[in-house]
Amino acid sequence: MSVRIPFTSTSTKPVIAVAFYSTYGHIETLAEAIIEGARSAGAEVRPYFIRETLPKEVLDKMYAGSSLSPKYPVLTPNDLKEVDGLILGAPTRYGRVPAQVSAFFDECGGLWASGGLVGKFAATFTSSGGQHGGQETTALTTMPFFTHLMYVPLGYTHPYVNDYAKNEIHGGSPWGVSTVVGSTGERSVLPEELELARHQGKSFAETVGTFVRGKTA
């Protein structure tokens, strides 16, 4: 079997896809901050939305539906051929990514089989209803897909990740930025979480950028 030569940027500027699925807007809010952070590090950022698979009738009963008219293009496997890194965001569903994200993973079989994901980087961000609602397991259960890429955790690169003494409920872990939205989505993304999202975007872009520049050195 022939192996596809990994995509190589035509410049030393890293090309990063920020792809996300957002039901009520919290993930989209984090995504916008991540995009801002990655661009501040000099990356070319390509935002994408992950395709909605639920019908409008179901979304109406969930008091949702904005996902049917996303503000960014819908991500396809071909889009991943032309980037150096992917930052993937989605809310947690039973400690894993939603079916919409799994459906996208299923579309990528030909891509990974041909070596189309070799040499690319990945990171995650998420949200959950409660403080212990599966934020870390949502990142962990994406690892079978991300073994085809190089996973870049947030790590302990920001003081907010280390701050376990806070009295208020908050998201954020070494896996990546996250937010706690409440059982009905009533909680807003905290300013500290937005700061952490910008930091993750910047940190990820710097890591990928170092690799891209190294290939041309």
* 182 or 36, greater pLDDT: 36
What CATH number is attached to the domain comprising 107? 3.40.50.360
Q: Is residue 70 part of a domain?
A: yes
Compute CA distances 145 → 46, 74, 179, whole Å. 21, 19, 23
Looking at residue 4, its pLDDT comes to 45
Q: Is residue 1 part of a domain?
A: no
Structural domain total, the chain:
1
Diameter of the chain measured on Cα atoms: 56
Mean pLDDT of 130-147: 87
Q: How confident is the model at residue 9 (pLDDT cuts 50, 70, 90)?
A: low
Q: Which amino acid is at 156?
A: Y
Q: Is residue 193 part of a domain?
A: yes
Alpha carbons 197 and 35: distance in angstroms, whole number? 9
- Per-residue pLDDT at 60 exceeds 80: no
Domain with 68 in it: 15-215
**Of the candidates 8, 16, 11, 12, the residue with the CA atom closest to the CA atom of residue 36:** 16
* 54 or 75, greater pLDDT: 75
- Per-residue pLDDT at 5 exceeds 70: no
Q: Is residue 143 part of a domain?
A: yes
Q: Is residue 4 part of a domain?
A: no
Q: How confident is the model at residue 166 (pLDDT cuts 50, 70, 90)?
A: low
Looking at residue 32, its pLDDT comes to 97
Q: Is residue 63 part of a domain?
A: yes
As beta bridge partners, residue 149 has: none
Q: Is residue 144 part of a domain?
A: yes
Give me the chain's average pLDDT, please. 88
Q: Is residue 10 part of a domain?
A: no
**Buried (b) or exposed (e) across 15-40, using 16+ Cβ within 10 A?**
bbbbbbbbbbebbbbbbbbbbebbbe
